[in-house]
Every structure is written in C-alpha cells, then in structure tokens.
Amino acid sequence: MGKIAAILPNEYLEQLTRKLVEEKNLRNIEVHIGDLYQALEIVDHSSDIDVIISRGGTADLLKENTNIPVVYIKVHLADILKLVNVALRFKRKILFAGFDKIFEDAGTLKTLEALIGAQIKQLNLYGIESLPEELKEYVVIADTVNYEIATKNGLESYLIESGEEAIMEAINNALQIQEYVNFEKRKREEILNIVNSVDFGMIYISPEANVISNETANRYLGNLKESFLERVRDRKSYEEVFSQGNEKYYVDLKTIDEDRKIITIRKAAELEEAERYIRKTLRAKGFVAKHTFEDIVGKSEKLRRVIIKAKSFAKSDANILLFGESGSGKELFAQSIHNESPRKGNPFVAINCASLPKDLLESELFGYVEGAFTGAKKGKMGLFELAHKGTLFLDEIDQIPYELQGKLLRAIEEKEILKVGGSSLVPVDTRIISATNIDPEILIRNNKLRLDLYSRLSVLPLQIPPLRERREDIPELLEYFIRIFGEKYSVETPKFDKEKIQTLMNYSWPGNVRELQNFVERITILLGTESYSEAFREFEILSENDGLVANHNEPILKEIENQLIHILIKKGIFTKSEIAKLLGVSRTYLWRKLKELNIE
C-alpha cells in the first residue's frame, strides 16, 4: 500500500494536521509543509504517493501538474465568520483574497454580505503585478499565498485557517480515495498478470482509455501500435489480418462490458496449426460429420427433391426432425445438413438415444458435476456442451424417457443446461437435428413424445424415403457397395446380370439401404465359395415371398395385403411388431396402413 501526503501551505495547518494524524495513529499519512512550487518539489522527491491532501492555490497547482488525486482542505463558514467578526471592528469593507476553491464551501459571499451588512469583494491577488489603491480601504481575509502578498503590500490582513473538522473531513476523504486507488492498483496488477501470462499478443483498454499491453503485442505491432490503437479504440468489435515483415497476424477486438476492451493478436500460421489440431482432436473423438450431400447415392426424383429441401434447411439454424424407416440414411442426411450449414467447422455430436440405459441418458446429455452421484469423482461435460456452436444429432428420440423430455425442452428453449448435481446454468449454442422411425403422431398419442417438445424439434420436418420408394436408385447403390467392399476385402467383385438386378429391384428392402449394404458385403465375402450361390438363392426365395411389399401399387395385391392385415389384427394374438414382421414391412409402414384402414 502507498501513502497519503499531506502538503500544507503554512505552519499552522502543518502542525494541526500532524497532531490529528498522531492522535488517530494514521501511520500511512506523511505531513509536509510547502507552498506552491515547494509542494511540487516534495512530490517529485517522494515515491509511492496514492493521494495528496492540500489547500487553496497549492492544491490547484498540484492537481494541474501531477496525476495523483488531490483532496482539498475546505474552509467552512464558521472559520470565515471568526475572522469576519474581527475585521468588522476596523472596517466595513472586506476583501476575500484567495483561489476560488478555498471558498466553495463557505456559502455564497453575497449572502454573507447581506447577513453582516458589509461590502464584500472577492479577488485572487496571485499574479497581479500592481495592486489597486482602492484595496487599502478593505480588510483582507486571505489564504496563505494571498495573505503573504497582501502583507507585503501593507494591507491589513488576516490568514484564513481551516479547523480540525475541515482537516479530518479531508483526511477521511483521502483514506476513501486511497482505498479505491489500491483496489484499482490490484485490479491493474491482476490484468497485467493475465496479459503477461498468455503466449500471444494481448492489449487491455480500460474505460478511462488506459492501455495495458504485453511484450508480445508490442513486438507484433512494432511501430504500428499507436496508429493501430487510434484506429480501433472507439470500436465495439473489430477483426483484421495485417502483415508485419514476413508474418501475417490476426487481430480480434471484443468489448467485455461498458467500455472495457480486449484485443488479441495471434500469428496467422499458429492459428492455422491450432485449427488443424482441433479438427484432428474432434475427429479422433468422433465429433466430426464425415459425410456431405455428395455422398448420398442415387438420382431418383424423390431423392433429389428431399436433398434440395435438406440443403435449404441447412442454411437455417432452426431445429430439424428427420422421419424415416430404419436404415434409410437419417444420420447420413444429418451429417450432410451439418456440413452444408454455417456450423460446419464446429462439432457434430451424435447419440442414439436407444443405446444407453434410461438412467444414464440424462448425465450423458447434460453432463454432471463432481460428487453428483456415487462414483462421480470428476465432473463431465455433456453432449450439449460438446456440441457447443455445432450440431447435436439425437437419433431415436422416441427412446428418451418422458420425464426427461421436459428438461430437454427447457434446454432447447432457454439455450441453457443444468448439469446433474449442479446448481448453476451453463449457456449452450447448439442446433438440434433429431430423428425417429416411428410416426410422431403415434408417439404423441401414446405419451411417448411430448407435443411441446415435438413442436420445438420439428420446426423443419424432413421425411427420408424408404428404398422401396426409390427403386431406380438400387443399381447405382449396388455398384457403389460392390466397389466399396471389393476394395475393403481386396477380392474380385460379384457380377450381377439384368435378371439378378431386377430381382434386387423387386424386393421391398424392409431394412432399406442398410439391408442392401449388408447383403452386398455378405455376398462379396462369400464370392468363390459354395456359400455364395446358397446366399443368393436364399435372397431369391425371400424376394419371391415379398410380393406383398414389392408391388404396393398393384391394386389386387394391395387388397390382399389389406385383408391380411384385417385378419391378423382380428386374431388378437400378434403384436403390431409381430404383424409387421410377418408381412415383411416396417412398423412405421404398418402403422400408416392401420391409420389408412381406420383400424385401432
């Protein structure tokens, strides 16, 4: 802690102040006697002064010539009235001679003039070469500087003295200011430590326009520093890349609060290297979307329309709900949308909500704090935090427990999460893409999905067509998978004649593209073995028994299918999942048929 310097213009004030300082045991206050320029010399030869206490013209001079806060010892009305009573014994004209500041708390002199019935004049004698003759008609009441001038010129003069009350008031004010000064010093030291602790350039600009910069920033900016600060000082935010020598630097200015600003300066090459490392780390953790729309195989009109719609959805930041049967490529679309969106450089975090026990899903999504439950020795970030500034893909949202859906809804609406066992909210900026293979209307009706959550998740709904609705894409998909698995297993690839391709196109593929992929992988591995022909023959038999699904558009077979559904439902011994399996269709397709046939 620094000290307070009380620099008094006369011996009386110096002795009275010293007495009060000793009585109050104020060891951090040094008392000096010095008038005007003597006071400046005292300050110049002292160090670590936080606050100065002085009076009149000396205080004015110190304030103008130093950056140290100056507290004025005021003159109270009671101090003046004592001298006025003495002066009135001799003359009815009184001259108050002194610097303006000394009389500011003495009340209006005009009011005093009316009160005492005397003529009052105020004048600062300091700097006047020749005093007017008329002043000899006045009794002079003056501060120290003016008292000395008046006395030398033969004027009847009285020195204004500040009493103990005024001095203690100044001391208390100085102590309060010193406390604030020391607080600001500590804050500045903390900022300086922070600025100097980083390995990149940093500049801090305070609301008072004080600048703190580290050596790295000074080195990077060189002789451009002053012109740079002049250019950006009044901006709320700013970004630029500038060249200095052979290096390129990235500058980023942010306003923290009010007018406090932080400027960071980094080498562009180091940022590029950091970005590569981040991407590598995210990829290692699986938080990167690997696929784009270019990876979606097929040229059918139905698929083309869905891709166009998905690309338009990607430009928005609204939540998307993907609806499609298992194996139809929902995650492929989710990754493609992310990579087409403004968030593409940020994490893509995916979770299958059916893959975790229900009691662990909450902590996986929102994270937990240390000690939240037995075994939670360390806290953990949840998927919402991991996906910050990126995309969170929630597959099979129908598997999220109903009681947890309310917390999920709040996180989406408020863009804040509460960790398990936590007491403070964590802000997150995450776009949600969710997916289900069950008709949302059925989920809502059966209390498997909250209506308000569905509304938030399905701002932009996108239906992915099953493979049977885009059969013309099967030859291209077949060719693609044959090439992929031929390269993977380094084997000769199977050949498909027109008849076999037609067989594949006639099949309904209830498992969609994933089922086709698995089939091609299986026969690629079995190629050249006895099992190859057997595997394809099994598929042909399966395809022959698939007429119900393979020809949905043929009226006769469609009617047979409808009758079969009626019969199986009427028996009442099969679940809907079992009926779907018997018919070789997906559960979603069966539910749509039941709705179409008005079967409860």
**Is a pLDDT exceeding 50 seen at residue 262?**
yes
Is the distance from CB of 260 to CB of 272 less than 8 angstroms?
A: no
**Is a pLDDT exceeding 50 seen at residue 548?**
no
**Is a pLDDT exceeding 60 seen at residue 105?**
no
Question: In 348-488, at which residue ranges do the beta strands (DSSP E only) sit?
Answer: 348-352, 367-368, 380-381, 391-395, 416-418, 425-427, 431-436, 460-463
Give the length of the chain.
600
Is the distance from CB of 328 to CB of 512 less than 8 angstroms?
A: yes
Task: Find the helix or strand (DSSP H, E) in which 457 lies.
Answer: helix 451-457
Phi and psi at residue 4, in whole multiples of 5°? -105, 130
Q: Above pLDDT 90, what percent of the chain?
A: 37
Q: What is the mean pLDDT of residues 396-407?
A: 92
416: its two tokens: 């804040």
Match 């893959």 to its residue by tokens: 355
- Residue 132, helix vs strand vs coil: coil
- Residue 95, helix vs strand vs coil: strand
Task: Give me the pLDDT at residue 554, please.
Answer: 46
Q: Nearest Cα to 90, choosing from 157, 7, 176, 40?
A: 157
Lowest mean pLDDT among 135-149, 281-295, 434-448, 553-567: 553-567
pLDDT digits (tens, 9 = 90+) for 465-491: 999 999 999 999 999 999 998 888 888
Task: Give me the pLDDT at residue 544, please.
Answer: 62
Phi and psi at residue 173, in whole multiples of 5°? -65, -40
Q: What is the mean pLDDT of residues 200-208?
A: 84
Report pTM: 0.49
Task: Give me the pLDDT at residue 471, please.
Answer: 94
Residue 1 amino acid letter = M
Task: Give me the pLDDT at residue 309, please.
Answer: 97
pLDDT digits (tens, 9 = 90+) for 551-589: 444 454 466 567 667 766 776 666 777 777 666 666 767
Higher-confidence residue: 234 or 180? 180
Task: Give me the pLDDT at residue 582, please.
Answer: 62
Task: Give me the pLDDT at residue 177, please.
Answer: 94
pLDDT digits (tens, 9 = 90+) for 47-82: 889 999 998 888 989 999 999 999 999 887 777 888
Q: Nearest Cα to 241, choosing from 268, 222, 264?
A: 268
Task: Give me the pLDDT at residue 300, please.
Answer: 95
Question: In 178-330, at which residue ranges do the beta strands (DSSP E only) sit?
Answer: 201-205, 211-213, 237-244, 247-255, 261-267, 320-323
CA distances from 206 to 69, 499, 529 (A): 18, 79, 78
Task: Give me the pLDDT at residue 550, please.
Answer: 42
Task: Find the helix or strand (DSSP H, E) in which 483 lies.
Answer: helix 474-489
Lowest mean pLDDT among 256-260, 319-323, 334-338, 390-394: 256-260
pLDDT digits (tens, 9 = 90+) for 231-249: 887 888 888 888 888 888 8
Task: Give me the pLDDT at residue 169, please.
Answer: 93
Task: Give me the pLDDT at residue 152, please.
Answer: 92
d(CA 477, CA 141): 106
**Is a pLDDT exceeding 90 seen at residue 323?**
yes
First-last CA distance in the chain: 83
d(CA 458, CA 313): 12
Task: Give me the pLDDT at residue 315, please.
Answer: 95
Higher-confidence residue: 544 or 216? 216
Q: What is the mean pLDDT of residues 150-165?
A: 90
**Is a pLDDT exceeding 80 seen at residue 447?**
yes
Phi and psi at residue 274, in whole multiples of 5°? -65, -40
Confidence of residue 592 (pLDDT cuts 50, 70, 90): confident
d(CA 57, CA 143): 8
Confidence of residue 547 (pLDDT cuts 50, 70, 90): very low
Task: Give me the pLDDT at residue 104, please.
Answer: 60
Higher-confidence residue: 225 or 330? 330
Lowest mean pLDDT among 132-146, 221-235, 338-352: 221-235
d(CA 44, CA 556): 108
Residue 525 amino acid letter = I
Question: In 430-470, at which residue ranges do the beta strands (DSSP E only) sit?
Answer: 431-436, 460-463
